[in-house]
Amino acid sequence: MSRPACSLRSFLRASSARSFPRNVRTLATPSSSKTSFSQTLAEGPALDDFIAGNVSDRVVLGNTTGPRLPSYLKTSIPKGASFSKIKSDLRGLGLHTVCEEARCPNIGDCWGGKEGATPEEGRRAATATIMLMGDTCTRGCRFCSVKTSRAPPPLDPHEPENTAEAISRWGLGYIVLTSVDRDDLSDGGAHHFAETIMKIKQKAPQILVEALTGDFAGSLAQVSVVAKSGLDVYAHNVETVEALTPFVRDRRATFRQSLSVLEHAKKEGVRITKTSIMLGVGENEEQVMDALRELRNIDVDVVTFGQYMRPTKRHMKVDRYVTPTEFDRWKHVAEDMGFLYVARLDAKPSDLQAGEYFIENVLRGKATERRTTQLANGEALDDKLSSIS
């Protein structure tokens, strides 16, 4: 029988006489039991106790059934002159960034530049990942919050020119271009991607370009189109270990297909290939080791590890939050295997910018200082650097 509303006063009185043995009281509804929630509420302190300050319990709000976000992964609200300038430049030019579309929590770090820096200094220090071919993807990966449609709007034929113009005016040293997957286009958008890179290199040859592409549905001919466009780094993300790929990525994406993209790009003469693995989606250590071996076998140069961050409640749950110690361990493992490795704690932190800076130095042949530091981790890395410098 439910408690009538008019008995609130007697309920408060009765509740105030109870003792409160629990240290933590949960206000979120546990998915398993509504009864236990009602019971917990009934047994908890009453309004009188809160007014009198007699409550020592700690109240926990939100979802208490999943892992809680650790403090080292919390980020601040984006601000700063550099952040605002990049945002307004992008709006004015009608460009999209993956930073915004994917609701990346580290947008403030990447766009914010340095504290107290001039707008020019801020731009140089900032990293923005430009998303080509619109904001709507033909795929639906379970971790990604980009909009999905079978038939996204047609390509903007002016986008390569506009993007190249905007990027050349910004004065950035290193730019990442990426795109949604466009399975609706006969070439997957490879020529549009390549045209953008060629125009950037025409207008500002000093800018290093990293292209983070999809898998072009396994078409190696389309991979060649992008790989031969004059880019500096070819990136394609395997995202997770092979066993979890069908549960994490869109069904049309496979781990083997992604390996073939990276392998082919290298065969086409790209100097640096790069991939990324999200941790915290349910993978185990052995699976990560297997993935690293596979990537090393096809001569991938850079691997970054990220923490999976659930963008909305409609996306797959975080299995666990990886500790900084574990990230460090993977960093050493990857370095010992011969990767030019970039440690990365979450989706897009300042560590990643350091990685881009490092790659920039390697490509410009100025990696001596960092090379000396990393040499302590083994001769394999030195061999790797020599072969791509």
Helix (H, G, I), strand (E, B) or coil at 110: helix
Residue type for 151, please? A
Is 141 annotated in some ligand binding site?
Answer: yes
Q: How many CB atoms lie within 10 A of CB 34?
A: 10
Site for ligand SF4 contains 180 (CB under 6 A): yes
Q: How far is the CB of 141 from ligand SF4 (least distance, A)?
A: 3
Span from 87-95, 138-146, 190-198, 263-271 in contact with ligand SF4 (CB under 6 A):
138-146
Piece of 23-31, 134-142, 316-324, 375-383 that binds ligand SF4 (CB under 6 A): 134-142
Q: Which is nearer to ligand SF4, 146 or 342 (CB)?
A: 146
Instruction: Indicate if the alpha-carbon torsion angle 238, 240, 245, 247 is positive or negative.
Output: negative
Regarding 214 and contact with ligand SF4 (CB under 6 A), the answer is yes
Q: At what angle do helices 285-297 and 324-337 cross, to 10 degrees?
A: 30
CA distance 143 to 248: 7
CA distance to 38, 180, 223, 333, per residue, from 242 (Å):
43, 22, 21, 19
Q: Which is nearer to ligand SF4, 112 or 134 (CB)?
A: 134
Q: How far is the CB of 256 from ligand SF4 (least distance, A)?
A: 16
Shortest distance (Å) from residue 46 CB to ligand SF4 = 48
The C-alpha atoms of residue 308 and residue 244 are separated, in whole angstroms, by: 13
Minimum separation from the CB atom of position 273 to ligand SF4 (A): 18
| Window contacting ligand SF4 (CB under 6 A); options: 139-147, 201-209, 328-336, 350-358 | 139-147
**Could you give the 3-state DSSP secondary structure of residue 358?**
helix
Stretch that binds ligand SF4, among 54-62, 133-141, 349-357, 362-370 (CB under 6 A): 133-141
Q: How far is the CB of 102 from ligand SF4 (least distance, A)?
A: 7
- The token pair at 229 is 């466009």
By CB under 6 A, the count of residues binding ligand SF4 is 10
> What is the nearest approach in angstroms of ligand SF4 to the Cβ of residue 174?
21
C-alpha 165/C-alpha 81 separation (Å) is: 22
110 annotated to a ligand binding site: yes
Stretch of 137-145, 155-163, 200-208, 343-351 contacting ligand SF4, by CB under 6 A = 137-145
Tell me how far apart the alpha carbons of residues 80 and 114 are, in angstroms, rounded to a whole number: 9
- Segment interacting with ligand SF4 (CB under 6 A) among 140-148, 295-303, 358-366, 371-379: 140-148
The C-alpha atoms of residue 25 and residue 14 are separated, in whole angstroms, by 19
Binding of residue 144 to ligand SF4 (CB under 6 A):
yes
In the set 57, 117, 140, 217, which binds ligand SF4 (CB under 6 A)?
A: 140
Give me the residues paired with residue 272 across strands: 233
CB of 142 to ligand SF4, least distance (A): 9
Q: Say whether 6 counts as a known binding-site residue.
A: no
Based on the shown chain and the rule CB under 6 A, indicate whether residue 137 belongs to the binding site for ligand SF4: yes
Q: Which residue has the tokens 């110690």?
A: 325
CA distances for 131 relative to 90, 94, 128, 146, angstroms: 11, 11, 9, 11
Q: Among candidates 301, 135, 278, which has minimal Cα distance to 210?
A: 301
Residue 250 found at the interface with ligand SF4 (CB under 6 A) = yes
Q: Is 99 annotated as a binding residue?
A: yes
| Interatomic CA distance for residues 364 and 388, integer angstroms | 10
Asked if 141 touches ligand SF4 (CB under 6 A), the answer is yes
Cα separation, 172 vs 355, in Å, equals: 15
Which of 49, 181, 294, 356 is the binder for ligand SF4 (CB under 6 A)?
A: 181
Cβ atoms within 10 Å of 157's Cβ, excluding its own: 9
Q: In which residue are the tokens 């004065």 written? A: 171
Is 104 labeled as ligand-binding?
yes
* Single-letter amino acid code for the residue at 34: K
Give the residues lining the site for ligand SF4 (CB under 6 A).
137, 139-141, 144, 146, 180-181, 214, 250
For the annotated binding site for [4Fe-4S] cluster, the residues are 99, 104, 110, 137, 141, 144
